[in-house]
């Protein structure tokens, strides 16, 4: 029953039999047979197959609502049983955007694996929007992200604070009249933007520039737009992307100005193609955190991972989640 329910739920999640079958590593005809069997058991159609993408029927919505509760309880049970093994076996799934997965997660995972070699660590990469969609469907235990989350749905464990900077291609003529505000990548690496004597750039000067922005739904998109609006203009966007690293690299090729964090700049030192500017708005400060579903069972693996992340990122080791 639970397997068939999981199959039906995957079809609902993907809105496609073919995509769901690929994810489940079974053939599409076999998946269709499983779904029809469930529909025969409940005496109702779950999916309206006459529209593309497929949609839930009224009975299907009721089935999925119940399935979500049952599958959540099943995963919490598995987590609890894994805890009984005293962390000798089990699995933890960590989500992260490409930047955090590339630079912050590896040393944390290395130390976790050293301490708990029997626990399998799975990493899911994606943009923030897709990761939070995934965690609602239960496959991800913790997400490393920056900015804010919906407090009603997620618990947030902050670690460090990062600073949003304005990045501008070096060849952009606007740099000529803003020399006293400019910083190089070396200046960022040496934290010059944190000095009180370092002036914040008058952001209104960039009101006619084209911005490479994140897509709506991302914290850095909302944060960047709000910062610009407070400065008196709405940013004109040349393109909207899903990853901060991609926007940063596009900017370095002269494709527009963008917002990026000091952590990203420090992880890619020596970029001579960009000029950086400090932003005076308090919204240029944002936390980096691990998030998990509010009300989710906190396993020993999750608590241990959070504690290791806290120590790796040089936070107070006395505040433990164990």
For the chain, list the strands marked E by DSSP.
47-48, 55-56, 90-96, 119-125, 142-146, 154-169, 182-183, 210-214, 236-241, 257-261, 274-277, 285-293
* pLDDT value at residue 83: 64
Q: Please, how many CA atoms are within 13 Å of residue 62, restricted to the half-sphere of its CB? A: 7
Q: List pLDDT tens digits, range 210-257.
A: 999 999 989 999 999 999 999 999 999 989 999 999 999 999 999 999
Same fold, 2-74 and 91-298: no
Give the residue extent of every domain in the chain.
Answer: 2-74, 91-298
**Topology classification of domain 2-74:** Arc Repressor Mutant, subunit A (1.10.10)
Looking at domain 91-298, its CATH class is: alpha beta
Q: List pLDDT tens digits, range 302-315.
A: 999 999 998 888 64
Those residues of the chain that have pLDDT short of 70 are 1, 79, 82-85, 136-138, 151, 269-270, 314-322
């Amino acid at each position: 029953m639970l397997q068939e329910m999981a199959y039906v739920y995957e079809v609902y999640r993907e809105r496609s039999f073919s995509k769901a079958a690929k994810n489940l590593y079974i053939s599409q005809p076999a998946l269709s047979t499983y779904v029809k069997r469930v529909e025969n058991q409940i005496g109702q159609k779950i999916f309206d197959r006459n529209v593309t993408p497929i949609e839930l029927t009224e009975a299907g919505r009721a089935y999925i609502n119940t399935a979500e509760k049952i599958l959540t309880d099943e995963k919490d049970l598995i987590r609890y049983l894994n805890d009984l093994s005293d962390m000798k076996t089990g699995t933890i799934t960590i989500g992260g955007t490409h930047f955090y997965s590339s630079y912050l997660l590896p040393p944390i995972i290395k130390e976790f694996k050293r301490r708990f070699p029997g626990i399998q660590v799975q990493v899911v990469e994606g943009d923030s929007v897709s990761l939070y969609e995934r965690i609602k469907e239960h496959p991800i235990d913790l997400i490393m992200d920056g900015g804010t989350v919906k407090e009603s749905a997620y618990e947030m464990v902050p670690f460090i604070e990062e600073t949003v900077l304005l990045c501008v291609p070096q060849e952009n003529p606007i740099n000529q009249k803003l020399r006293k505000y400019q910083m190089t990548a070396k200046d960022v690496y040496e934290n010059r933007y944190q000095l009180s004597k370092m002036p914040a750039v008058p952001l209104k000067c960039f009101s006619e520039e084209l911005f490479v922005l994140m897509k709506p739904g991302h914290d850095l998109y909302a944060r960047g737009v709000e910062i610009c609006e407070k400065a008196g203009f709405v940013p004109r966007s040349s393109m909207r992307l899903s990853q901060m690293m991609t926007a940063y690299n596009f900017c370095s090729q002269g494709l527009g100005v963008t917002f990026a964090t000091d952590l990203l700049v420090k992880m890619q030192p020596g970029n001579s193609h960009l000029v950086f500017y400090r932003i005076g708005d308090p919204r240029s400060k944002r936390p980096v955190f691990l998030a998990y579903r509010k009300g989710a069972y906190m396993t020993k693996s999750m608590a241990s991972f959070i504690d290791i992340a806290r120590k790796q990122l040089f936070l107070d080791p006395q505040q433990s989640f164990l």
